[in-house]
Structures are given as C-alpha cells and as structure tokens.
Structure 1
Amino acid sequence: MEKLCGLQLKGGPSSYSSGKGKNHEGDIKFGFDLVKGKANHPMEDYHVATFVEKDKHELGLFAIYDGHSGDRVPSYLQKHLFDNILNERGFLVDPKKSISKAYEKTDKAILSQEKVLGRGGSTSVTAVLMNGERLWVANLGDSRAVISKGGKAIQLTTDHEPSAERASIEHKGGFVSNMPGDVPRVDGQLAVSRAFGDKSLKCHLRSDPAIQDTTVDTKTDLLVLASDGLWKVMGNQEAIDIARRIKDPQKAAKRLIVEALERESKDDISCVVVRFK
C-alpha cells in the first residue's frame, strides 16, 4: 500500500491549516480548519483528512491529534497512526481489532522513542470511512467525533475524563486531583485519563481506545471531528446545527472555530467536517 505520509499532511509545528477535498466520486466532501490558541507554546494540534485506496476499497481517513507538553507526539501520530492501522493484517476483515492493535503498537513505539519524541503525549480521534458506507471511529482522551443523522447529533466517542475513570486510576496506584478552580487531573497533572505517550504517567493512564462503528445511511449528513478547544464551549447539537447550515465543509469548519473563539476558547482548536450529502 502506498504510504500515507505526504498525501494529506499540510500541518507543521506552528501551522494554521485550512483546506478541503472530496472522494473519487465527488459525492462526499470534507473540509478542515486549525487555529492556534493563546497559550505560549507552538501549535500542538495536528490533523489528517484524505481519501486513499486499499485493495480496491476507498477509505476516508480523518483525525484530530491534540498534543500536550510538546508537539512531537501528535506530529508522529499524523505521520504513522493510519499507516499502522491499515497495515494491520486482516484490517478489511476486522477493522475494530486492527484499530485496537494499531493503537497499542503505536503507543509502544512512542514510548520507546522518548529521547526523540520527548515526555509529552496526545489525545486522538480517528475515523475510517469504508466505501462511503461504514464508519469506524476510535479515540483516546477528549477530542470528539459527532455524527448527524437527520439533523440529530449523535456522539460516537467517549470523553476520557479522570473523574469518570477514577477507579481504574486508583487501582493502578494513581490519584485524581480535584483542586478548586481546576479540572480533575491524573496525579495532579493530566486532564485526560487515556492518551498516547506520557511515559511518566503511563502506569496510571490507559491507551486502549474506545471504538464505535456505524452505518452511513440515507439519513447521515455530517461528521464533525474536533479537539476539546471546540467542545469546551459548544454542545454536540450546537455544532451540528451550525455546520448543517453551511454547504461547504471547509467554511463550516471555519465557522465552528470562529464561534468557539467568540465564546472565548483559549485552547488550540481543530475541526474536520465531512459532508455526506
């Protein structure tokens, strides 16, 4: 299979990316937009948005990687995670098993390259659209995928928040802090309970993804992937309602980010919108 690197990768450590594309038939269109937040560090959000062919199957590949404590891990994910998923033996037969195994292998590779990639980490939300008919979504952390069926927002991912997985963290010997004015954090540091990387916290973190699949039927009109910079200030249905009003998915992604900024989101904000009809 042709390597994915370079096909869709339009981001760099300090990039502010925006773009669009479509599948071979032209009936499924996507757009994306990324904006750096107000924090005093380089852009830590990366994305993937492209269509590729594998064994005569058309695959739409979409992702948001939201890094923390540096941009090296999300950059690595942008280059390697989808390659690892699609190169898993039996991917077309059992996508869920292949995605799970690829996430595990990718995390081990990141941890083994700490000297190069640093001690930071990244959340991840990935979506694989198979032949425009079946959608497989996986995530670690609080980047989120929401689909619209007949205008109704359906969240396909699970936000991995420390308070929701406190029992697992404490069972492994960690703790969840809950300081006034702050969000719950694993060992007082990380605001998500699952992530790639984060070697110093890995004994208390999980890196197994939550995976969901759904049929893309005649009622399915939109898919929105975004980092928590959007979801902190916007509900699922709000995002879908805004995106549905705009035919051009790139303009829809831009509009969602503008709305998040107007609501004073200070984080890096990344958004991919896929329009099925």
Structure 2
Amino acid sequence: MIGKREIFNKMKPNFWQDPESAVRRAYCITDTTILEKAVDLGKGGSTAVTAILINCEKLVVANVGDSRAVICKNGVAKQLSVDHEPSSEREHIEGRGGFVSNFPGDVPRVDGQLAVARAFGDKSLKMHLSSEPHVVMETIDDDTEFIILASDGLWKVMSNQDAADAIKNIKDARSAARHLTEEALARNSSDDISCVVVKFN
C-alpha cells in the first residue's frame, strides 16, 4: 500500500501556487515509491489518471499510459488526457535504448512487451519508460455535465462519445459508473475496467 497521505503532503506546499508542478511531483514520488517497494508490490506497473477540482472552477487532470479522462459539456464529449502509445513516443523510447515492436496482428509494444509508453512501476522496463504525466487544466462552467475517469478496459470497446451518451440520463454518479462498467463487459472487454464518474450541478 502506497502512503497516499504522505504523497499528498509532499505535494501540498506549492500546490495552490503551481498545481501543475505539484501534480508532476506527486506522480514522480508515486513512481519512485512503487519502484522502491517492487519486492512487496511485484514487478508489474500501472497506468493512472487523476483529477483535482480547485474552487469548483478549475479542473487539473493528469495521466500516464492509456487511462483516460473525458469531460462532457452540453452533451459533447471531449478527451482531456493523452493515450501514451509506444508508436507516438518511439523516438523517446529509442533514445533511452529501447525499441518499439510492431508485429502483425498486435499493437505496438515497448521492448515487445508493454502496450503503453508511460506507466508507474514496471521495473524491468523502467530505463525505456517514462512516468512523466500529461497535465491539462480545464475550466468547469455551467455547461459542464460530468467527467469520466476510466482505464483502457472501457475505452477499448467504447468511444468517448459512446460513453458520454450512455450515462447522460443517469443522475447518480455511482450508478453511471456501474452502468459503464457493465456496458464494457457486455461488449466483451477483456482488459481491466476501472471507472469513476463525477457529476456536476
């Protein structure tokens, strides 16, 4: 178990002055902690997406890997995060001594193994991976309906707009997240499915 309170406390001193730098620092601390505890946690890794709302107006979204944040305003879905795919970061991976495989019938992979270019952990591949998050700020206004934070098990079988349309009439956020998870399963998603929905207004 990673000390979330400890990580947050290290992020806190400059969060209000410079939230982007604070979030980047928190991601770095998280990755370092996971690597240090690899004996207990295992050699694997994880993608991540986070969202912090400041004063009910400014949303700070960060991610590594292919966990995704999607915001819906006036019925229109907009992706806030970036899917860190090996093919789009080939130059960076090769610059660190790695390679990107692209076998027929398979997705591009770092060193023929990992299907994302950025992740926490993954100690055996860390020299060729980044844990630097993509960070973006989004204004929350009267048109904002909800945000979806979910792992790739959802996004492999649903588009951003599909997901937004599926829950637009569900008022309860927990019920909306459950519905998306069940829909992903019904569409035969074979990957991990984690989902959080935050409703506004």
| Equivalent of residue 258 in structure 1, options 177, 182, 190 | 182
In 2, the alpha carbon distance for the partners of 1:85 and 1:138 equals 15
| Equivalent of residue 226 in structure 1, options 144, 150, 164 | 150
Aligned pairs for 1:116-265 (under 5 A) are: 116-265=40-189
| Equivalent of residue 113 in structure 1, options 37, 47, 56 | 37
Residue aligned with 1:102, SS? helix
Richer in strand (by share): 1
State the identity as a percent. 57
TM-score, length of structure 1 as denominator length: 0.69
| Equivalent of residue 21 in structure 2, options 81, 89, 97 | 97
In 1, the alpha carbon distance for the partners of 2:90 and 2:153 equals 23
Report the equivalent of 1:66.
none
Report the equivalent of 1:48.
none
TM-score, length of structure 2 as denominator length: 0.95
Are residue 269 (structure 1) and residue 193 (structure 2) matched? yes
Cα deviation for residue 86 of structure 1 reads 5.0
* CA displacement, residues 108-158 of structure 1 (integer Å, 9 cap, x when unaligned): 222222222221111000111122211101000000000011111110100
In 2, the alpha carbon distance for the partners of 1:166 and 1:193 equals 8
| Change in CA separation of 1:85 and 1:138 when aligned onto 2, cut-off 3 Å | farther
Cα deviation for residue 103 of structure 1 reads 0.9
Report the equivalent of 2:7.
84
Richer in helix (by share): 2
Residue aligned with 2:35, SS? helix
In 2, the alpha carbon distance for the partners of 1:173 and 1:108 equals 21
Residue aligned with 2:63, SS? strand
Note the aligned Cα RMSD (angstroms). Answer: 1.4
Write the letter of the residue equivalent to 1:211. Answer: V
Give the number of equivalent residue pairs.
200
Runs of 4+ in 1 over 3 A off after TM superposition: none
* CA displacement, residues 177-199 of structure 1 (integer Å, 9 cap, x when unaligned): 11122111100111100001111
Q: Is the 8 A contact 1:249 1:274 kept in 2?
A: yes
Q: Is the 8 A contact 1:228 1:269 kept in 2?
A: yes
Cα deviation for residue 219 of structure 1 reads 0.6
Gaps of 5+ in 1: 1-74
In 1, the alpha carbon distance for the partners of 2:35 and 2:18 equals 26
In 1, the alpha carbon distance for the partners of 2:91 and 2:110 equals 12
Write the letter of the residue equivalent to 2:132. Answer: D
In 2, the alpha carbon distance for the partners of 1:110 and 1:101 equals 14
Q: Is the 8 A contact 1:85 1:91 kept in 2?
A: no
Write the letter of the residue equivalent to 1:87. Answer: K
Gaps of 5+ in 2: none
Between 1:249-258 and 1:153-162, the stretch displaced more is: 249-258
In 2, the alpha carbon distance for the partners of 1:199 and 1:190 equals 12
Q: Is the 8 A contact 1:85 1:98 kept in 2?
A: no
In 2, the alpha carbon distance for the partners of 1:169 and 1:202 equals 10
Report the equivalent of 1:26.
none
